[in-house]
């Protein structure tokens, strides 16, 4: 399964915008490769939609 993270340009720096599925997989630790990749990023370079967070917490 190939998961893609969207990249945005903001002030000449790359930002990772995690979609709902990637965010939930990361939070659940389902795919170690995704978790490892995201864990190595600077926190300032990661963005998550509020609706993705809401979907995750509604599943709990």
Instruction: Please indicate, yes or no, if residue 35 is contained in any of the structural domains.
Output: yes
Instruction: Please indicate, yes or no, if residue 49 is contained in any of the structural domains.
Output: yes
Provide the number of structural domains found in the chain. 1
Instruction: Please indicate, yes or no, if residue 5 is contained in any of the structural domains.
Output: no
Cα–Cα distance between 45 and 49 in angstroms, integer?
14
Band (pLDDT 50/70/90 cuts) for residue 55 is confident
pLDDT digits (tens, 9 = 90+) for 1-54: 344 455 554 455 668 889 888 998 999 998 999 899 999 988 888 888 888 888
Domain that holds residue 46: 16-59
Cα–Cα distance between 55 and 43 in angstroms, integer?
21
Instruction: Please indicate, yes or no, if residue 7 is contained in any of the structural domains.
Output: no
Cα–Cα distance between 27 and 11 in angstroms, integer?
28
Instruction: Please indicate, yes or no, if residue 9 is contained in any of the structural domains.
Output: no
Instruction: Please indicate, yes or no, if residue 6 is contained in any of the structural domains.
Output: no
């Amino acid at each position: 399964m190939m998961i893609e993270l969207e990249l945005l340009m903001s002030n000449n720096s790359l930002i990772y915008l995690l979609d709902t599925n990637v965010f939930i997989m990361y939070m659940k630790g389902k795919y170690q490769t995704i978790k490892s990749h995201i864990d190595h990023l600077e926190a300032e370079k990661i963005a998550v939609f509020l609706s993705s967070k809401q979907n995750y917490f509604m599943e709990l």
